[in-house]
Homo-oligomer: A and B are copies of this chain.
Amino acid sequence: MSTTISIIGSGNVANHLGKAFYQKRLTIKQVYSQSIENATVLAQQINATPIANLDAIKPDADCYIISIKDDAIESVLEHFPFKNKLIAHTAGGLSIEVFKKYGFTNYGVFYPLQTFSKNKKLDLSAVPFCIEANNELNQNLLTQLAQQLSNSIYPIDSEQRKTLHVAAVFACNFPNYLYHIAEKITAQQNMDFNILKPLIQETAEKIITHSPSDTQTGPAIRNDQEIIKNHIQMLADFKDYQDIYQLLTNSIIKEKTNGEL
């Protein structure tokens, strides 16, 4: 018999997971959100019952997935009515210990290491799921659940997951911000951001087969001071971008000098 799930949350991750479970023909019992409208929008798409009150949560699911903002999780745990049900959060930065504090006996972490945006479809089958649980049985249950969605499952403890979470900021959030800067710089000269897209794709693709330490290119790694000076000057309208350019350039030159790049 397949696992039944209830989902606490209706944000990006809850949406992606809920729809993926539904596509894999798992039964989703309830969707909880503080806003009944948001709960309803998701619930309707995955044949679940929307609720906006934690007291309305029923004990009929095998597993409860909590996918809400980190700072809202404790308050939900405090009011969650069934302390012996298997429950897991999806947060990168939050320890598994949070469940202990509120008297849960079967718990874990179900962390998809990916960036989720509304209105952007995503194939979960290649997304790494980082699984942690309070005992082997629950580890197996959550692993099996993740295997329904993905071919890439990693047992990752809370310390490792915290490290991954920082690394993910460097691997995803900051690069996206740098893309934004590139878009703004080109837009200022009325150029089309599309011209930079093949470069962005190739840069990301390259690291599938090559270590980024071996593929660094550009003025900083060549220590081309003339180009660097020109670039800093050209960024005169963007003071903050000048600082970012200078700091990253200095750091690249330093690592190159130390033989670390």
Which residues of the other chain, B, contact A182 by a CB distance below 8 angstroms? 167-168, 170-171
Which residues of the other chain, B, contact A241 by a CB distance below 8 angstroms? 170, 251
Question: Whole-angstrom distance from the CB of A203 to the nearest CB of chain B?
Answer: 4
From 107 to 166 in chain A, residues with beta carbon under 8 angstroms from any chain B beta carbon are 113-117, 119-120, 122, 126-128, 130, 152, 154, 156, 159-160, 162-166
Q: Does A2 contact B (CB under 8 A)?
A: no
Per-position 1/0 for A24-68, Cβ under 8 A of B:
000000000000000000000000000000000000000000000
Whether the Cβ atoms of B163 and A191 lie closer than 8 Å is yes
Whether the Cβ atoms of A179 and B171 lie closer than 8 Å is yes
Q: How many copies does the complex hold?
A: 2
Question: Whole-angstrom distance from the CB of A212 to the nearest CB of chain B?
Answer: 4
Q: Does A181 contact B (CB under 8 A)?
A: yes
Q: Does A76 contact B (CB under 8 A)?
A: no
Whether the Cβ atoms of A201 and B198 lie closer than 8 Å is no
Whether the Cβ atoms of B201 and A115 lie closer than 8 Å is no
Per-position 1/0 for A207-244, Cβ under 8 A of B:
11111111111111110101100110011000011011
Question: Whole-angstrom distance from the CB of A199 to the nearest CB of chain B?
Answer: 5
Sample 25 A-B pairs with CB under 8 A, ordered by A number: A71-B224, A71-B226, A113-B198, A117-B215, A119-B210, A120-B209, A128-B195, A152-B195, A152-B198, A154-B195, A160-B191, A163-B234, A164-B196, A165-B227, A166-B234, A170-B178, A170-B182, A172-B199, A173-B252, A174-B218, A176-B217, A177-B252, A183-B212, A203-B204, A240-B251
